Amino acid sequence: MSSLIKYDDPFEELNSLQRRFFGDDLLLPTMTSNIPVTDVYQKAGNLVVETHMPNFDKEDVDISIDKDNLVISAERHDKEEDKDKKYFVRESSNSFYRSITLPERADREAIKADMVDGKLVVTIPMAKLPEPHKIAIGDGKKK
């Protein structure tokens, strides 16, 4: 006679906590598919924030600075009214929010953003660091 052995999933407790707090499953890849990919990198003395936002138009996107954070948010609403279908109204919406802390050297007045083919690129110029100031060392004698 064979006996069954209970398999203890090492991630079950983590998944349970995730579902309790956020209402979704941490390990399901489909849950993260609606989150736009965002890359932050340095290029040619600038900080660049690149966000892939397919199906969003630039009119759907809002970029602002709140305290020391660059805030990118987007909201899109689709409304379909097809006379041949029995819908009263069919709507869908999608939203996105990302906040990125800016470094002190970020030139907040010169930030530029472009959106081409669903890719938002925010370029943040960085102020140059001041040159170190050399201090002469005396010999301790009064003049």
Do residues 58 and 115 lie in contact, with contact meaning Cβ atoms separated by under 8 Å?
Answer: yes
Residue-level pLDDT at 39 = 92
DSSP state of 12: H
Q: Which residues of 25-53 are buried (b: 16+ CB within 10 A; e: fewer)?
A: eeeeeeeeeeebebeeeeeeebbebebeb
Residue-level pLDDT at 108 = 92
Do residues 69 and 106 lie in contact, with contact meaning Cβ atoms separated by under 8 Å?
Answer: no
Task: List all residues 6 or more positions away from 42 whose beta carbon is below 8 Å from its beta carbon.
Answer: 48, 126
CA-based Rg of the chain, rounded to a whole angstrom?
26
DSSP state of 106: B
Do residues 99 and 70 lie in contact, with contact meaning Cβ atoms separated by under 8 Å?
Answer: yes
Look at strands 46-52 and 119-125 and give their pairing. Answer: antiparallel
Task: List all residues 6 or more positions away from 54 whose beta carbon is below 8 Å from its beta carbon.
Answer: 118
pLDDT digits (tens, 9 = 90+) for 79-123: 666 666 665 555 566 788 889 999 989 999 999 999 999 999 999
Q: pTM of this prediction?
A: 0.61
Overall average pLDDT of the 1-9 stretch: 54
Question: Among residues of the chain, what percentage have pLDDT more than 90?
Answer: 34
Residue-level pLDDT at 11 = 59
Helix (H, G, I), strand (E, B) or coil at 35: coil
